[in-house]
Amino acid sequence: MDSIFENYKNNGYLHHAYIIEGAHCAVMPGLIFAIERNLNISTKKNPNVFIERYQIFGIEESCRLKILQSRTGFSGADTKIPPQKLFLISANSLTHEAQNSLLKIFEEPTIGTHFFIIIPHADIILPTLRSRVLIIKTKERFTKDEDYLFAKEFINVCLEDRFTLVKKLSEKNNNDKIDRELFRRVLDQIEIIISRHQKDTDSPIKNKDIFTEIYQAKTYLNFSGSSPRMLLEHIAIVLAKRS
């Protein structure tokens, strides 16, 4: 999820609307964590952050969203800077009527308002709406389920077996370059799983510094000279020390 905010970290620009392809349970926790870390805001009990989940996002939901996004946000100490309003919406499907309504919202977005819409499949998005958003696909060489299963196994096995898993993930086919986005997605899943474990008193992973280590690993992934394999092996060692 951190890749969404790379431009923001470099030049302060954040697109007004993102559509993220993926399952709610896999994407939403990582998105919330990335927003809090990269935008330096809290999503909990924040009147400027709206987090909602729908089975079907229809015209009524879209009309309500239009009203909410048009309202003035709550300012902080520095009233010269318009407050950012964030809408984190997860839906299994979006009706065509709702998409056409969203199109009107995205054509003239309110200043400081940003939308993050999570859906299982981006191919349901109408071409007219596609032209107004940035679509983030999380499914490439591995499926989302495979990302999760790999991360879960990576956490649960011993250090030696973790190195074996990293080696398999790093294997090149036909001299193709290492898939950095694949490693990023795996790190995202490791982060999500550990975050859930932290809430469990019986969790073998106690030290929250692991989140800093994962964040640094994903940051180094941005540099072409870095080794994704070595970064994931480092996380394997860190997990062994933190257990």
Domain borders along the chain are 2-137, 144-242
Amino acid at 15: H
**Amino acid identity for residue 179 in this structure:** D
pLDDT at position 80 is 41
Domain 2-137, second-level architecture: 3-Layer(aba) Sandwich (3.40)
pLDDT tens for each residue of the chain, 243 residues long: 667 787 777 777 888 999 998 888 778 888 898 898 888 888 888 999 999 999 899 999 999 999 999 886 655 544 344 458 999 999 988 999 999 999 989 888 788 899 999 998 888 889 899 888 988 876 444 556 778 888 999 999 999 999 999 998 887 544 456 778 788 888 988 888 887 766 554 544 555 678 889 888 988 887 888 999 999 999 999 998 765
- The DSSP secondary structure of 166-196, one letter per residue, reads HHHHH--STTPPP-HHHHHHHHHHHHHHHHH
Q: Are the C-beta atoms of residues 55 and 91 closer than 8 Å to each other?
A: yes
Residue 38: per-residue pLDDT: 87
Q: What's the pTM?
A: 0.56
Distance CA 137, CA 117 (A): 12
